[in-house]
């Protein structure tokens, strides 16, 4: 019936004084009165325990286990405390109603254990007390905190809070609740920003420390488990410091605590939510409570304390010498408790009182059953019943475990752990018209409703802290958008994370993804990393580059045909005739084909185009170089033949020339044929170079064959170059050999430059480089060999004479 004790100084010099209880709790006083009321009702009830009068003794444990232990020992050693002869003998006590707080109940239960005296608590909710091995005689009419924790977890989940603070009183009740909360929160990914414990012994420094932590933390939702007496110092300091913006979640012990209903608590504590024990009604209780008056119980100090607390008066003039303390007026005894509103008299929400009432009735019904046991059908050894004149406590325990009865339509019984069925009201602290706090029921948590349906919230009625209707947010890190994933921060709880963008080729399509998903083959992530899109396919088409190259190739081909036309037209002029007109025509034709062959490289690679492009290119080039080679040989030999006695020229007539050219070209044709038969080039998808693109290219099939083909052209070109080089000094104004040397130089330079460019250029540029090499070497040949002749034919016809060409 008091909130706390003042522990006296303990030393060995004098006998320790009894610890003094302080802070009268008129709510608990009402609970005690409810017990008296229930016993009176039972005693007056002719159907329940007829001819038997229940007696009782009430002890105040002052919310501490020390006082609870003292009371228990007093009960067990009954005689010293009670002078009544009726109740003498070993343990006249059959059952205990209480204790209130869990830590007190634990002490009481442990002390009672050897005597097997059953106890029914009305307020000890700690889940630890459900352990039948440790507390075999413990029952309660308040639901196990196991369910309250489940309810709070659902509430937190419902509002999407993932980052919460925790504060508890320093005992089993607080600690075991938070242990359970930790476990449950871990499952749904909610973290505690902090967990602080208010020490049992008042320490202002610790309270200021805790408030500091609350203020500094980003957690805006704080769960607090504790009795009102324990929390009072913290919450008053909290209100004085004007801290706002904290959404409190209260445990059942303080969610309907009248201590915090005064006006000054409103702005700071308004909106507090929590689960309260279901309420009940006890008809007639109010009248009973009103009968309590100091004049009726002149020796009872508690009644006087009640009076002092309600009316703010004193029964004795205080002997305080301190002038600053205002003296209280004397109580007259004529004050009316009916007129002055007080927690004591407020029976609108009987929750714990109702639990007390049920507990008393449970004992009475059990006793009733025990007494009405039919001999020979009893529950004990050999079907015996208990001896009424000597009831053993364990026998009553058996009946309490089995008891089942109804009060106002509500069925009451205990499960095998001594717990009742759990159901709670969801409460919300709102503002009364007079500025005080009103506890409004805004929902329900009922375990019997079935999994997932337990919690019902009437959200329209809900007010959050600061009179808000919007759900406050309490998260450590805002959620990660799609396209990113959660990255753990070392040394911090899981709820605090960084949002890391997904890597290339990976996506996350949900908020708060833990991992990014790799896109399937042929797919790639979009820029936002939220979707896999099919990879871009790249090859050289008729885009700007492809089109330009095509135009150049066509232009080259036309130019070659043009030159051919000029040559045909002037085929009888000396300059054409002297230059081996047949070979020139061949060269021009094959050059035209070279230009055209480059076009085969443009477009999407297909099976046929891959085979076609390489073979056509290599054969046309071999043909062209073979012709030039033939020409060089003829030039060289023609001059050698001028020496007397030589008939070499016989071996280099037009027929031999043709044979030579076809032989040289056939070698290339054979290489190509082998290549195509053995390991032909084929189209392939290259994803290695750039993972975001699929490059469609022609795989050469056999690299060896590819380099053989190129190498053969290179060999032909080199031979041509060497021979032309030997012939470059030969006399004559129009020295063909010089031009060929020069053209071969350009040709070789282009192809040597091509090799590194080809190997290192990516994707479609490889093909472009190849086309470029083909075009530039063809242009090189065309210009070097034919430009000077065309110049003379078209612009300087006067030089187109035998004399001029033969020179000196
Ligand atoms: N249900 C709480 C408990 O089991 C009630 C409570 C908490 C309490 N602190 C208290 C009761 C202090 C009395 C005193 O402990």
Strands (E) in 162-291, as ranges, are 163-169, 191-198, 221-225, 247-250, 273-277
Strand ranges for 291-447 from DSSP E: 404-407, 410-413, 423-431, 437-446
Residue 129 CA to ligand 1 centre (angstroms):
13
CB 719 within 8 A of CB 622: no
Nearest protein Cα to ligand 1, atom 4: 124
| Confidence (pTM) | 0.70
pLDDT reported for residue 298 = 86
Higher pLDDT: 209 or 710? It is 209
Kindly indicate the confidence band of residue 319, based on its pLDDT and cuts at 50, 70 and 90.
low
SS3 assignment for 672-728: HHHHHHHCCCEEEEECCCCCCEEEEEEECCCHHHHHHHHHHHHHHHHHHHHHHHHHC
Task: Write the pLDDT tens digit of every residue in 104-135.
Answer: 999 999 999 888 899 999 999 999 999 999 99
55 is written with which tokens?
């007696």
β-pair type (138-140, 119-121): parallel
> Across residues 228-236, what is the average pLDDT?
91
Can you give the pLDDT at residue 154?
A: 94
Specify the higher pLDDT residue, 339 or 805. 339
Give the residue whose CA is nearest to atom 7 of ligand 1. 227
Burial of 111 (C-beta count, 10 Å sphere; 0-12/13-18/19+):
middle
Is the pLDDT score of 374 beyond 70?
yes
Q: For the ranges 61-65, 69-73, 135-139, 638-642, which has the lowest average pLDDT?
A: 638-642
Alpha helices in 325-456 (DSSP H): 352-371, 393-402
Distances (CA, A) of 441 to 97, 249, 251: 28, 14, 15
Tell me the best of 173, 251, 254, 259 to mutate to test the pocket of ligand 1, counting ligand atoms within 8 Å of each CB and taking the most: 173
pLDDT tops 50 at residue 389? yes
Count of beta carbons in the 10 Å neighbourhood of residue 512 = 18
How does strand 693-699 pair with strand 536-538?
A: parallel
What is the spatial distance between Cα 537 and Cα 243, in angstroms, rounded to a whole number? 61
Alpha-carbon span 493 to 186, nearest angstrom = 10
Percent of the chain at pLDDT exceeding 70: 94
Q: Is the pLDDT of residue 624 over 50?
A: yes
Distance 174 CA to ligand 1 centre (A): 9
> What is the residue whose two structure tokens read 């063809």?
778
Give the C-alpha separation, 327 to 250, whole Å. Answer: 36
Please compute the mean of the pLDDT values over residues 571-593 and round it to a whole number.
Answer: 83
Mean pLDDT calculated for residue range 670-677: 92
With a Cβ cut-off of 6 Å, ligand 1 is lined by 63, 100-102, 123-126, 169, 173, 226-227, 229-230, 252-253
* Span from the CA of 603 to the centroid of ligand 1 (angstroms): 83
State how far the Cα of 377 lies from the Cα of 380, in Å rounded to an integer. 9
Instruction: Please count the other Cβ atoms lying within 10 Å of the Cβ belonging to residue 372.
Output: 10
pLDDT exceeds 90 at position 96: yes
- pLDDT for 417 equals 92
Ligand 1 atom having least distance to the Cα of 142: 1
Report pLDDT digits (tens) over 535-549. Answer: 888 888 888 888 999
Parallel, antiparallel, or unpaired: how do β-strands 191-198 and 163-169 relate?
parallel
Cα separations in angstroms, 487 against 192, 505, 510, 525, 789: 19, 18, 15, 20, 74
User: Distance, CA 234 to ligand 1 centroid (Å)?
Assistant: 16
Q: What is the pLDDT of residues 490-510, one digit of tens each?
A: 888 888 888 999 998 899 988
Please determine, for residue 450, whether its predicted confidence score (pLDDT) is greater than 90.
Answer: no
pLDDT of the residue at 249: 96
Distance CA(627)–CA(650), nearest Å, equals 19
Confidence of residue 808 (pLDDT cuts 50, 70, 90): very low
Mean of pLDDT values over 609-636: 87
Q: What is the pLDDT confidence band of residue 340, given thresholds at 50, 70 and 90?
A: confident
Judged against a pLDDT cut of 70, whether residue 79 lies above it is answered with no
- Say whether pLDDT at 137 is over 90: yes
* Of 391, 363, 395, 359, residue with least CA distance to 49: 363
What tens digit of pLDDT does each residue of 147-192 get? 999 999 999 999 999 999 999 999 999 999 999 999 999 999 899 9
Query: Poorest-confidence range of 333-342, 550-559, 676-685, 741-750?
Result: 333-342
The pLDDT, as a whole number, for residue 646 is: 61
Greater model confidence, 638 or 441: 441
Using CA atoms, how far apart are residues 222 and 194, in angstroms rounded to an integer? 9
Query: 228 CA distance to ligand 1 centroid (A)?
Result: 8
242-251, 423-432, 687-696, 726-735: the lowest-pLDDT one: 726-735
From atom 11 of ligand 1, which residue's Cα is the shortest distance away?
Answer: 101
Q: How confident is the model at residue 693 (pLDDT cuts 50, 70, 90)?
A: confident
Nearest CA-CA partner of 415 in 114, 122, 143: 143
65, 619, 36, 469: which is closest to 282 by C-alpha?
36
Mutate to test the pocket of ligand 1, among 3, 61, 102, 125 (most ligand atoms within 8 A of CB): 102
C-alpha–C-alpha distance, residues 129 and 177, integer Å: 12
Nearest CA, atom 13, ligand 1: 101
The reported pLDDT for the residue numbered 732 is 59
Position 65 scores a pLDDT of 87
Question: Is 247 in contact with 219 (CB distance < 8 Å)?
Answer: no
Q: In this predicted structure, what is the pLDDT of residue 654? A: 78
Length of the chain: 808
Res 318: pLDDT: 60
Per-residue confidence (pLDDT) for residue 733, from 0 to 100: 53
Query: Ligand 1 centre from 218 Cα, in Å?
Result: 29
- Arithmetic mean of pLDDT over the chain: 87
- Decide if 657 contacts 631 (C-beta within 8 A): no
Neighbours of 797 (CB within 10 A): 12
390/401 Cα distance (integer angstroms): 20
Between residues 799 and 135, the one the model is more confident about:
135
Interatomic CA distance for residues 191 and 153, integer angstroms: 11
> For the packed helices 581-597 and 544-569, what is the interaxial angle rounded to 10 degrees?
170
Cα gap 501→484, rounded to integer Å: 4
Contacts of 436 (CB under 8 A, 6+ apart): 261, 262, 263, 266
H or E element that contains 669: helix 654-678
Average pLDDT over residues 672-683: 90
pLDDT grade for 82, boundaries at 50, 70 and 90: very low
Q: CA torsion sign, 181 to 183 to 189 to 195? A: positive
* pLDDT at 731 > cutoff 70: no
- Both tokens of 198, joined, read 């208010």
φ, ψ of residue 428 in degrees (nearest 5): -140, 135
The HSE-up count of residue 522 (CA atoms within 13 Å, CB side) is: 3
Q: Which residue has the CA at smallest separation from atom 9 of ligand 1? A: 227
pLDDT band for position 81 (50/70/90)? very low
301-311 vs 26-44: helix axis angle to the nearest 10?
A: 130
Write the residue with the smallest CA distance to atom 8 of ligand 1: 101
Residues near 354 by beta carbon (within 8 Å), at least 6 away in sequence: 34, 277, 278, 279, 280, 281, 282
| CA of residue 103 to ligand 1 center, whole Å | 8
The alpha carbon of 251 and the centre of ligand 1 are apart by a number of angstroms equal to 10
Cβ contacts of residue 767 below 8 Å, gap of 6+? Answer: 539, 540, 601, 602, 697
Centroid of ligand 1 to alpha carbon of 595 (angstroms): 97
Ligand 1, atom nearest to 227 Cα: 9
In this prediction, residue 39 carries a pLDDT of: 96
Does 90 or 316 have the greater pLDDT score?
316
For residues 406-418, give the mean pLDDT.
92
What is the C-alpha separation between 520 and 505, in angstroms, rounded? 9
The model's confidence at residue 35, banded by pLDDT at 50, 70 and 90, is: very high
Q: What is the mean pLDDT of residues 456-479?
A: 89
For residues 334-361, give the mean pLDDT: 89
Mutational test site, ligand 1, from 4, 23, 123, 172, max ligand atoms within 8 Å of CB: 123
Task: Please name every residue paired with 223 in a beta bridge, in sequence order, or none if there are none.
Answer: 166, 249
Tell me how far the alpha carbon of residue 231 lies from the centroid of ligand 1, in angstroms.
Answer: 11
Cα 19 to averaged position of ligand 1 atoms, centre (Å): 19
Give the pLDDT of residue 80.
44
**Counting atoms of ligand 1 from 1, which one is nearest the CA of 63?**
14
Give me the pLDDT at residue 106, please: 95
CA trace torsion 319, 323, 325, 328 (10° rounding): 50
Residue 183: the pLDDT is 94
Partners of 443 in the beta sheet?
426, 457
- Cα 254 to ligand 1 centroid, rounded to whole Å: 9
Q: Which atom of ligand 1 is nearest to the CA of 126?
A: 4
Residue 530: φ, ψ to 5°: -110, -15
């Amino acid at each position: 019936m008091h909130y706390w004790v003042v522990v006296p100084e303990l030393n060995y010099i004098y006998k320790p004084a009894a610890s003094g209880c302080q802070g009268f709790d008129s709510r608990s006083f009402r609970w005690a009165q409810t017990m008296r009321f229930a016993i009176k009702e039972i005693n007056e009830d002719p159907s329940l325990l007829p001819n038997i009068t229940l007696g009782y003794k009430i002890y105040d444990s002052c919310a501490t286990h020390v006082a609870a232990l003292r009371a228990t020992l007093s009960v067990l050693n009954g005689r010293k405390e009670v002078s009544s002869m009726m109740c003498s003998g070993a343990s006249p006590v059959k059952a205990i109603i209480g204790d209130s707080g869990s830590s007190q109940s634990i002490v009481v239960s442990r002390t009672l254990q050897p005597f097997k005296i059953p106890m029914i608590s009305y307020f000890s909710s700690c889940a630890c007390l459900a352990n039948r091995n440790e507390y075999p005689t413990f029952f309660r009419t308040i639901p196990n905190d196991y369910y309250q924790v489940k309810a709070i977890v659902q509430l937190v989940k419902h509002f999407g809070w993932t980052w919460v603070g925790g504060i508890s009183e320093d005992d089993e009740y607080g600690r075991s609740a938070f242990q359970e909360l930790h476990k449950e929160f871990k499952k749904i990914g909610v973290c505690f920003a902090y967990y602080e414990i208010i020490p049992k012994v008042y320490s202002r420094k610790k309270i200021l420390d805790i408030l500091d932590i609350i203020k500094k933390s980003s957690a805006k939702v704080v769960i607090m488990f504790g009795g009102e007496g324990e929390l009072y110092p913290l919450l008053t300091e909290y209100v004085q410091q004007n801290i706002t913006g904290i959404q409190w979640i209260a445990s059942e012990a303080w969610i309907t605590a009248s201590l915090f209903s005064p006006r000054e608590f409103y702005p700071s504590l308004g909106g507090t939510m929590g689960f309260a024990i279901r309420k009940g009604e006890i008809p007639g209780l109010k009248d009973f409570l009103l009968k309590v008056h100091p004049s009726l119980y002149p020796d009872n100090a508690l009644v006087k304390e009640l009076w002092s607390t309600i009316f703010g008066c004193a029964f004795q003039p205080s002997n305080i010498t301190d002038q600053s303390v205002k003296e209280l007026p004397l109580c007259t005894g004529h004050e009316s408790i009916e007129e002055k509103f007080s927690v004591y008299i407020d029976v609108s929400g009987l929750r714990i009182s109702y639990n007390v009432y049920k507990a008393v009735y449970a004992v009475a019904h059990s006793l009733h059953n025990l007494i009405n046991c039919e001999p020979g059908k009893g529950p004990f050894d050999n079907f015996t019943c208990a001896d009424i004149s000597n009831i053993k406590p364990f026998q009553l325990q058996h009946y309490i475990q089995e008891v089942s009865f109804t009060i106002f339509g509500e069925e009451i019984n205990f499960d095998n752990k001594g717990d009742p069925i759990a159901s709670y009201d969801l409460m919300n602290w709102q503002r009364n018209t007079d500025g005080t706090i009103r506890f409004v029921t805004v929902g329900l948590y009922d375990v019997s409703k079935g999994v997932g349906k337990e919690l019902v919230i009437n959200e329209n009625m809900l007010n959050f802290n600061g009179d808000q209707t919007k759900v406050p947010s309490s998260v450590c890190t805002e959620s990660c958008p799609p396209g990113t994933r959660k990255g753990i921060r070392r040394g911090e709880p899981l709820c605090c994370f960084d949002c890391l963008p997904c890597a290339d080729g990976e996506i996350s399509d949900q908020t708060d993804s833990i991992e990014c998903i790799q896109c399937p083959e042929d797919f790639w992530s979009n820029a936002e990393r939220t979707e896999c899109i099919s990879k871009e396919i790249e090859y050289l088409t008729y885009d700007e580059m492809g089109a330009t190259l095509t135009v150049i190739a066509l232009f080259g081909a036309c130019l070659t045909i043009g030159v051919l036309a000029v040559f045909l037209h002037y085929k009888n002029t000396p300059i054409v005739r002297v230059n081996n007109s047949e070979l020139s025509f061949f060269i021009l034709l094959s050059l035209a084909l070279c230009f055209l062959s480059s076009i085969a490289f443009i477009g999407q690679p297909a099976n046929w185009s891959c085979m076609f492009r390489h073979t056509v290119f290599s054969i046309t080039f071999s043909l062209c170089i073979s012709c030039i080679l033939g020409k060089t040989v003829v030039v060289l030999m023609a001059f050698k033949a001028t020496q007397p006695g030589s008939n070499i020229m016989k071996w280099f007539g037009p027929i031999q020339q043709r044979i030579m050219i076809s032989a040289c070209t056939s070698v290339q044709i054979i290489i190509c044929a082998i290549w195509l038969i053995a390991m032909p080039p084929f189209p392939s998808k290259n994803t290695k170079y750039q993972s975001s693109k699929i490059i469609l290219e022609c795989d050469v099939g056999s690299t060896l064959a590819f380099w053989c083909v190129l190498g053969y052209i290179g060999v032909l070109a080199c031979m041509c170059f060497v021979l032309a080089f030997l012939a470059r000094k030969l006399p004559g104004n129009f020295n063909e050999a010089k031009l060929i040397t020069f053209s071969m130089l350009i040709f070789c330079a282009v192809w040597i430059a091509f090799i590194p460019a080809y190997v290192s250029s990516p994707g479609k540029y490889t093909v472009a480089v190849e086309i470029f090499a083909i075009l530039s070497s063809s242009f090189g040949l065309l210009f070097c060999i034919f430009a000077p002749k065309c110049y003379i034919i078209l612009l300087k016809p006067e030089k187109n004479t035998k004399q001029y060409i033969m020179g000196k």
